Structure 1
Amino acid sequence: MDFSSRPATAADAQAIYELIAAAEQEWHGQVEVIPDQVAADLVRPELDPERDTLVVHAGNGDLAAWAWVHLGKHAQVNVVPSYRAAGIGTMLIGWVEERAREVGSDWVAQIVDDADKAGTGLLQSRGHDVLATNWLLERPIDGQRSLEPVAGLRLGSYDATRTEEVYELVEDAFSEFQPRRKSFAEFAGLTVERSTFRPDASTLAYIGDDVVGAVISLDLPDSDEGYVERLAVRADHRNQGIARAMLDETCAVFHRLGRRSCILWTHSGTGALAMYERLGMHVRRSTTVYRIHLWSG
């Protein structure tokens, strides 16, 4: 079958979302990708859609696959299940690596669902090594809250006037394991400016007037689950029960909205898995971050 490729545009976001959703449905029996995730990725600052994205169409017009590379470091490749044996994945991974070299990167990494055996095998065959693991965690919501008060702590729903402080807090926390600090514009585009942002289900924690913790939640339309996009506590206030208090508050809001569980992703670099398990969460599934070091010759 003949295939054609071109850069992605904003008009492709829904079709790409449906591509990713189809794979999740096949592997896990349910869809967990956020509907506006692709749209948010396509407008990241410093992403040049003309050079950093690619969509592949089959001869019949079907979207068969897509890929993107951000700053030559982070990439994603997704292929429609019915087109996986056509060599498209190999072509796109080669394109990703070449694009990373073009911008002078010495490595590029991408996330692969652990249920995607073909994708995992392909990356391993090309010399990609395991960099990290991501876990999707879930916590049943029963409306109950922790009985452990935190001295001096005040919780409130999201306050847009504190967004700059939330940005600094979250990026400070995540920069401990991420290789690059996001700009404010990128942070906002991936969180509070998304169409799925739920300020009513997002929680800020205060000691006095200082923001010392934040939960940023997103909406999952047609789902009975609440989604936490970011959870962070300021370094000098950790191990005091603030994360538990914020998660309890967020889950309570989701409970009032009729959600039966709360889900979030955590990264092995954070060392937070054990903490989340103590907060009543357990692993539903996992993905692996694979990285390859690039050489020009």
Structure 2
Amino acid sequence: MADSSAGAWPAGYRVRPATAADTDAVHRLVGAGERALHGLVTTDADRVAADLGMAGGAPAGDTVLVTGPAGDPAAWGWVRGRRASVHVHPGHRGRGLGTALLAWSEARARELGGDRLAQTISDSDLAAAALLRSGGYARMVTEWLLELPMPAEPVVPRPPAGITVRTFRAGDEQAAYRLTEDAFDEWQQRRKPYAEWARLTVGRATFAPEASPLAFEGDRLVGVVLSLDPGAGAGTADGVAAGPVPGTDLVAGAPDGGEGYVERVAVRRDRRDRGIARLLLHEAFRAFYSRGRRSCVLWTHSDTGALGLYERIGMTVRRGSTVYGRALVAG
């Protein structure tokens, strides 16, 4: 850890880079915070492993794990591009760790050449939101976690003329990557390299190809849904994401257990407004129902304009988050 950040930590705490070997410890830490805020864990270990995997080839200073006087994980965070994420264990709040993590993330972002930094905060976490606002951060966009109860098997609409649907299979990875990244170019800050995209989607242990339908017009791929099934492993109108955090590369963690999770949806720009996204979503919902799931969830955000689509197909908002950002100045 760089000397410039080591001196900012409260007395009695030890600081080091986080590694893939810390996946379980970090997952417990994040889960404790989510349980305190929401009453359940909303990020699975698979998501944490993906974050740490992405940091694996980065400089050690891009991640930090803070342990308490008894050696227990107290806080952790990472910085990547214009994004940061930090978590403090509920048992260690009120001791200055949030302020220290914020200072560390900004210093590291400057070292990486960043001119802006953003973080996503649950609307339930009033203390974290107040800390960011006091540090000059302003609201950028709002995110919503939407849910669809499935007491009965979802009815799948008829495909639009000329459109056929099948489930994801080996060999579809590169085509799905190109289509989703082309669609997300409208709002994401950078285009992800394939290896990073795969680590967040088809390469995850919880990826559910049976609940990931693809739409074709002839031989051409025109629509994609990629889903995760967290229970099996233990973002999004046409062309926008059901999952990636707004303006970032990241995906909000899939909620616990018995729910299906639609991680992202994309439709070719020239084939939108034909009902393809609605068709694919219902195909995914039906696949999850057949797997014993009785609800499905996904994330969307205010930049996509997708909220109305989800509400029309019967989804409702479970909770919200806000992305806060600020410009960074030299030094």
Same fold, TM-score > 0.5, yes or no: yes
Residue 78 of structure 1 pairs with residue 112 of structure 2: no
The C-alpha deviation readout for 1:133-179, integer Å capped at 9, x for no partner, is 11111111221314454112111111221211111111111121111
- Give the Cα separation in 1 of the matches to 2:184 and 2:282: 21
- What's the secondary structure of 2:186's corresponding residue? coil
Determine the structure 2 residue equivalent to 1:169. Answer: 179
Aligned-partner residue type, residue 104 of structure 1: G
Percent identity between matched residues is 49
Question: CA 1:39–1:87 in structure 2 vs 1: closer, same or farther (change >3 Å)?
Answer: same
- Give the Cα separation in 1 of the matches to 2:13 and 2:90: 15
- Give the Cα separation in 1 of the matches to 2:55 and 2:214: 26
Give the alignment's Cα RMSD to 1 decimal.
Answer: 1.5
| Partners of 2:55 and 2:62 within 8 A in 1 | no
Aligned-partner residue type, residue 125 of structure 2: D
Match of residue 264, structure 1, among 282, 289, 298: 298
Extract unaligned runs of 5+ from structure 1. Answer: none
- What's the secondary structure of 1:86's corresponding residue? coil
Extract unaligned runs of 5+ from structure 2. Answer: 1-10, 235-256
- What's the secondary structure of 2:124's corresponding residue? coil
Determine the structure 2 residue equivalent to 1:110. Answer: 119
Aligned-partner residue type, residue 69 of structure 1: V
Residue 239 of structure 1 pairs with residue 273 of structure 2: yes
List aligned pairs for 1:23-38, cutoff 5 A: 23-38=33-48
In the TM superposition, residue 46 of structure 1 has moved relative to its aligned partner by: 8.2
Question: CA 1:19–1:132 in structure 2 vs 1: closer, same or farther (change >3 Å)?
Answer: same
Determine the structure 2 residue equivalent to 1:156. Answer: 166
The C-alpha deviation readout for 1:57-84, integer Å capped at 9, x for no partner, is 001011000010012x111000001111
In the TM superposition, residue 199 of structure 1 has moved relative to its aligned partner by: 1.0
Q: What stretches of structure 1 move > 4 A for 4+ residues in a row?
A: none
List aligned pairs for 1:50-69, cutoff 5 A: 50-69=60-79
Q: TM-score, normalised by structure 2?
A: 0.86
- Give the Cα separation in 1 of the matches to 2:102 and 2:145: 25
- What's the secondary structure of 2:293's corresponding residue? coil
| Partners of 1:157 and 1:202 within 8 A in 2 | yes
Q: TM-score, normalised by structure 1?
A: 0.96
- Give the Cα separation in 2 of the matches to 1:149 and 1:74: 39
Structure 1 residues 220-229 or 186-195, which shifts more? Answer: 220-229
Determine the structure 1 residue equivalent to 2:317. Answer: 283
In the TM superposition, residue 113 of structure 1 has moved relative to its aligned partner by: 0.9
In the TM superposition, residue 277 of structure 1 has moved relative to its aligned partner by: 1.2
- What's the secondary structure of 2:202's corresponding residue? coil
| Partners of 1:9 and 1:49 within 8 A in 2 | no
| Partners of 2:147 and 2:297 within 8 A in 1 | yes
| Partners of 2:159 and 2:276 within 8 A in 1 | no
Give the length in aligned residue pairs. 296
Question: CA 1:204–1:147 in structure 2 vs 1: closer, same or farther (change >3 Å)?
Answer: closer
Match of residue 136, structure 1, among 130, 145, 152: 145
- Give the Cα separation in 1 of the matches to 2:282 and 2:324: 33
Q: Between Structure 1 and Structure 2, which shows a larger proportion of strand residues?
A: 1
